[in-house]
């Protein structure tokens, strides 16, 4: 049995998240560590990050939609259950990241706090996608 359209979409989103995160790290980890990264640089980077994600996801979702033929792309009960169950761990990760950001705001420059929160968002979304894929492969 092949992958469902929803599972393919999860793979595509994970791929886009990894590509965008690697691009961001490659471009901005040096200036962040050296302390030369400013909020104006970060704003442009986040806009670039969004553009990369939109382009990658649009391209791959289009391919996935045409590859599947005329199959049913509606969500069934299994998809809804997997979506609900896969929200557990990401919420813990995001909560931990927000608490870390709160503590960091008292001791670090604002740019570090912003990156801690951005990292928490990326890790939480990555964890959601990975748990979704595990549930699709393992079953619920």
SS (H, E, C) 65-122: HHHCCCCCCCCCHHHHHHHHHCCHHHHHHHHHHHHHHHHHHHHCCHHHHHHHHHHHHH
How many domains does the chain divide into? 1
pLDDT digits (tens, 9 = 90+) for 42-86: 787 778 888 888 988 898 888 888 876 555 566 788 888 988 899
Burial class from Cβ neighbours inside 10 Å (0-12, 13-18, 19+) for residue 106 reads exposed
Range of the domain at 12: 5-138
> What is the predicted pLDDT for the residue at 79?
85
As a whole number, the mean pLDDT across the chain is: 85
State the pLDDT confidence band at 3, using cuts at 50, 70 and 90. confident
Assign 127 to helix, strand or coil.
helix
Residue 37 burial (CB count, 10 A): 20
pTM (two decimals): 0.82
């Amino acid at each position: 049995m092949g992958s469902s359209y929803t599972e393919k979409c999860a793979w595509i989103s994970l791929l886009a998240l990894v590509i965008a995160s690697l691009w961001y790290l490659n471009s901005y980890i040096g200036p962040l560590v050296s302390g030369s990264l400013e909020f104006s640089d970060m704003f442009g980077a986040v806009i670039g990050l969004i553009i990369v994600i939109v382009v990658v996801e649009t391209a791959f979702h289009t391919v996935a939609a045409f590859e599947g033929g005329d199959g049913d792309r509606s969500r069934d009960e299994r998809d809804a259950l997997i979506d609900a169950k896969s929200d557990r761990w990401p919420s813990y990760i995001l909560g931990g990241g927000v608490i870390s950001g709160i503590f960091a705001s008292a001791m670090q420059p604002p740019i570090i706090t912003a990156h801690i929160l951005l990292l928490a968002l990326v890790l939480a979304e990555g964890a959601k996608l990975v748990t979704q894929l595990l549930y699709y492969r393992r079953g619920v």
